Structure 1
Amino acid sequence: MTTLISTLPEAAAPQRRRLFGLSRAALQSLFAADLGLAPKAAKMRASQVWQWIYSHGVREFDQMTNIGKALRAQMDALYDLSRPEVAERQVSQDGTRKYLIRFAPGIEAEAVFIPGVGRAGALCVSSQVGCTLNCTFCHTGTQALVRNLTAEEIIAQIIVCKDDLGEWPSSRDDRQLSNIVFMGMGEPLYNLDAVAQAIDIIADGEGISISRRRITVSTSGVVSQMRALGERTEAMLAISLHATHDALRNELVPINKKWPLDALLAACRDYPGTSNAKRITFEYVMLKGINDSDAEARELVRLLRGIPAKINLIPFNPWPDSPYECSSWDRIERFADIVNQAGYASPIRTPRGRDISAACGQLKSESVKERASARRRTETVS
């Protein structure tokens, strides 16, 4: 008698659906379809799960004690609350924390928590893996764009940070994470749908509960999407400016060739909700002998006339083979004095996390280089 041995592969277990990044309405529809819940019951369960994952930070459905045991088991079989892999975590001498988060093979982005920024501390999140903008002073911009991040992947950066800081529940009075800034890898306005969806989740009062007034989105000047950003998110706006005339900005921020300063500043004046209580932040990196003269300080004041604004002066963070140097501290202070005397707040941003390559414009490059070097050593040995 011959025994036949099947060579067919076993059926793979169905992949559980991840819940991070879904809207309340999407959760409700999912529960109605998967669990057979009536609309009212699906809405209630969606609200309960929302609070457990975003306010309490639970990792297991068994922790959701106001949901019946049988329903929790069903949810556990269908849905996934796991976090992405933290490929690297580094802590600076100044308390800055940098996370390299791996969402999938070859899909990694960095987030940086900076204590003492905003009300208590700010998390700088990425919206893309890589970047298309090629700003010449930015090391992050030297990396090719891989893809946009999803709303789930944006939210996951916040969850990872809150886990690390012990920031659960979100309602605690002493929480360290009070502000979110979209100033990490990528151009947020080239990924507006995912960014807007993530902001709706971040700002929800029954979850992460960070006010829209404490969420800032920085753009290099994607004029076509700026009004939509304001209308859809009500987030605070920051502009990566860095120059006071088109010729120089074309070099520093090449997107200026598509949307020059006149168009950019007109869009700033048109940004929804702008007022003295809701000012636009203009970021200005200080480059020695390039954009740091008294004349440029005065021209900056002229350009921003009539726009409720504050100006962040950013000492340039040098990187290997960069063509630029940082302005001297005296020069930066003189520039700030001119802007201040014109009535604009112009704080000088203290460089943070330089010892772990977490400062402005440095994200991911060192991590990528170190792993590439390690691979080369391994290949050489083998």
Structure 2
Amino acid sequence: MSTATPANLLEFDLDGLAAFCERLGEKRFRATQLFRWIHQRGADDFGQMSDLAKSLRGKLEGCATVRALPVVAQHMSQDGTIKWLFDVGAGDAVEAVFIPEDDRGTLCISSQAGCAVGCRFCSTGHQGFSRNLTTGEILAQLWFAEHFLRRHLGTAERVVSNVVMMGMGEPLQNYAALVPALRVMLDDHGYGLSRRRVTVSTSGVVPMIDRLAQDCPVALAVSLHAPGDALRDKLVPLNRKYPLDELMAACQRYLAHAPRDFITFEYCMLDGVNDQPEHARELIALVERHRTQGVWCKFNLIPFNPFPASGLKRSGAPQVAAFARLLADAGIVTTVRKTRGDDIDAACGQLAGDVKDRTRVAQRIALQRQVPLQPAGGLAAGG
């Protein structure tokens, strides 16, 4: 009997699963059936997969598994936002957040345990970087959330309509694992999401923006946060490697392949740092300098969610409104993001929570392994 570790089928996009099945002597249509069982139906027991040949089910039992991530904690906000903390081993954990709205259900997914970029206003960055997630660990967040939510809400319909790679980590610094995960999200035999409804957020890894445009163009959001290089160098250290003019040029190149005709620029509003009228005027000049078409970008102004190590404060509502008005008067489409899930540390920039204390996380993981979380039929107690 083989002692090899069973392959986790969450690690494969459809082509990868077809290659795996071919090694078992099976044709591609069997891989498609298997893919649907896993992602569309949420099955993790090969015995449930009734339309697979019994011989294939027997082969899979011996060499494969559908292995999700253990859930360390689950919290629900008063506004309906749900946050999960997943154990990824070695004392590391990552978070995913589901945000329900009237016309959509958005899942925010992590791509790394920690983050190496170190943006000054982001608590995840203050945690430091541990490792990249695998394709299966990225997809396991969606797999769990989608099928948990269907059971919880009592529906057979798809619940997650939008995915944003805006959780912990810089997705484009984990490119090899990211792209197969995106392909599963988009695949009609998988989650069948529109390219317009899958968003990769980046702090500006220019070469990988160009690669994504060729390999798997989805909606792109760029964490901008400053109108000039001097300030952005301080807020987003990656800017020292890929300054603003290079980043703006990459965004324009991306538009030739993107499913939308605009790039979203995320802009965290920091009191007295980047929220003054002169900053708005510099942003307008930046947009105009790189304009090659009418509306080529949109701004999303994000309320800062304070944490002690940052030394920063949230801009006041009047200041945010005045800033937004200056951009809008210049013809730039501008929205102010509504803060969601901040009572459970699930809002933008807060995805570290207990993770920032890795000793505490290791203790919580050890405890969870001894006392399993309640099964997916009901929500765990919030905290």
Work out whether the TM-score is over 0.5.
yes
- 1:269 corresponds to 2:252: yes
For 1:326, the aligned partner's letter is R
Structure with higher RCO (Cα < 8 A, 6+ apart)? 2
Contact 2:124–2:356 (Cα < 8 Å) also in 1? no
User: What's the TM-score, normalizing by structure 2?
Assistant: 0.88
What is the aligned partner in structure 2 of residue 120 from structure 1? 104
Match of 2:131 among 134, 147, 164: 147
Contact 1:100–1:364 (Cα < 8 Å) also in 2? no
- 1:74 corresponds to 2:59: yes
- 1:97 corresponds to 2:82: yes
Q: Distance in 1 between matches of 2:206 and 2:287?
A: 16
Q: Distance in 2 between matches of 1:115 and 1:364?
A: 21
What is the aligned partner in structure 1 of residue 39 from structure 2? 54
Q: Which has the larger radius of gyration?
A: 1
Match of 1:226 among 189, 209, 222: 209
- 1:180 corresponds to 2:154: no
Contact 1:221–1:239 (Cα < 8 Å) also in 2? yes
Q: Distance in 2 between matches of 1:374 and 1:145?
A: 16
**Change in 2 beyond 3 A, CA 1:374/1:255:** closer
- 1:23 corresponds to 2:19: no
Deviates more, 1:69-78 or 1:226-235: 69-78
Deviations 1:267-288 (A, max 9, x none): 1111143689431000000011
Q: Distance in 1 between matches of 2:51 and 2:214?
A: 36
- The alignment covers a number of residue pairs equal to 358
What is the aligned partner in structure 2 of residue 6 from structure 1? none
- SS of equivalent residue, structure 1 residue 283: strand
What is the aligned partner in structure 2 of residue 318 from structure 1? 306
Deviates more, 1:43-52 or 1:11-20: 11-20
Question: Gaps spanning 5+ residues in structure 2: where?
Answer: 367-383
- 1:290 corresponds to 2:273: yes
Shift of residue 74, structure 1, vs aligned partner: 2.3
- SS of equivalent residue, structure 1 residue 194: helix
Q: Distance in 2 between matches of 1:28 and 1:162?
A: 24
User: What's the TM-score, normalizing by structure 1?
Assistant: 0.88
Question: Gaps spanning 5+ residues in structure 1: where?
Answer: 1-10
Deviations 1:131-185 (A, max 9, x none): 11111111110122111111111101101111221179xx96x533111111111
Q: Distance in 2 between matches of 1:326 and 1:114?
A: 22
- SS of equivalent residue, structure 1 residue 269: helix
Q: Distance in 2 between matches of 1:313 and 1:241?
A: 10
- SS of equivalent residue, structure 1 residue 347: strand
Contact 1:167–1:175 (Cα < 8 Å) also in 2? no
Q: Distance in 2 between matches of 1:158 and 1:194?
A: 15
* Identity in percent: 42
- SS of equivalent residue, structure 2 residue 333: coil
CA RMSD of aligned residues (A): 2.4
Match of 1:111 among 92, 96, 120: 96
Match of 1:163 among 133, 141, 147: 147
Q: Distance in 2 between matches of 1:62 and 1:251?
A: 55
Match of 2:338 among 327, 342, 350: 350
